[in-house]
Amino acid sequence: MKNFLYRLVVVAGFFAAASCSSDNDSVPAISGNGSLILEFDNVYGADDLALGQIQSANSEGESLNISQLKYIVSNIVLTKSDGTTYVYPKSDSYFIVDETDEETSELLLTDVPAGDYVSVSFGIGIDEQQYALGLDVLPEFALLAQNEGLLGDWADGFTQFYMSGNFSSATIAQTPFDVSVGSNQSEFNYVSVNLTLPQQALVRTTITPEVHIFADASKVLDGINALPLESHVSGDSANVSDETSILQISTNIESMFQVNHVHND
């Protein structure tokens, strides 16, 4: 009987010690700030987008040879696994991705609170509230947009998405085209994009995750809405700029982005 009681005491002591050890070994709270990179990789369907090369025909039988693709990325918001969000400072949250300039494809976000992030949202364009504040609020970005040909006079509006090149089909010879989505004081075409990450982006003081986003240019004219360029030919070129088409393209732009993978290096 004494041996039994002794063994019982030993076993109880073992579990008590294990419990204390478990409490002491709990995961420390994540703290501090780090950085995160959003990489925008422009593609065309399943292939990397190569400027100056003829792409495979779309559902309208039209083959595009894209020479320019650029767009404004703004208002970045990151969501953690616990549902809380981090709004990247608006004054620093305006970028231009230009396919002709590889350095613009990676957006470096600094001073991001450490955490496990599960989604990202951003805008294509400048939101109406920010635009109403005027040029002086975003002087550096305004200069950049002017240099990129996306902004003339602030009061006249800006171009938030631009794609141009040539296209052809069985019935149309090589013809220049351009797609220009803009906003001004009376008409806003700001596009909101919300993306779930396939794996968490682990921002730490020692880890800078890279979120690799595919932007599928084929969906601009051949996405949720199909817009044949042939129907927009006037003279010797095709220009997609009428109000109905711009609304359809804005819907297509919203669906052209997806996160392919996340690097936690």
- Mind listing the pLDDT tens digit for each residue in 11-33? 444 444 445 444 445 556 788 99
Three-state DSSP at 100 gives: coil
Report if residue 11 sits inside a domain: no
* Band of pLDDT at residue 185, cut at 50, 70 and 90: confident
Q: From residue 218, how far is each of 25, 203, 241 by CA, in Å? A: 51, 32, 18
Q: Which of 138, 34, 126, 128 is nearest to 92 (CA)?
A: 138
Q: Which of 142, 116, 140 is nearest to 131 (CA)?
A: 142
Tell if the pTM clears 0.85, that is, is over it: yes
Report if residue 54 sits inside a domain: yes
* Band of pLDDT at residue 143, cut at 50, 70 and 90: very high
Pick the range with the lowest mean pLDDT from 8-22, 98-112, 123-137, 186-200: 8-22
Report if residue 6 sits inside a domain: no
Report if residue 192 sits inside a domain: yes
Report if residue 231 sits inside a domain: yes
- How many domains are contained in the chain? 1
Report if residue 17 sits inside a domain: no
For residue 228, what are the domain limits?
32-264
Report if residue 4 sits inside a domain: no
Q: Which of 62, 36, 70, 64 is nearest to 52 (CA)?
A: 64
The pLDDT score that the predictor gives to residue 65 is 98
Report if residue 41 sits inside a domain: yes
Element at 221 (helix H, strand E): helix 219-222
* Band of pLDDT at residue 175, cut at 50, 70 and 90: very high
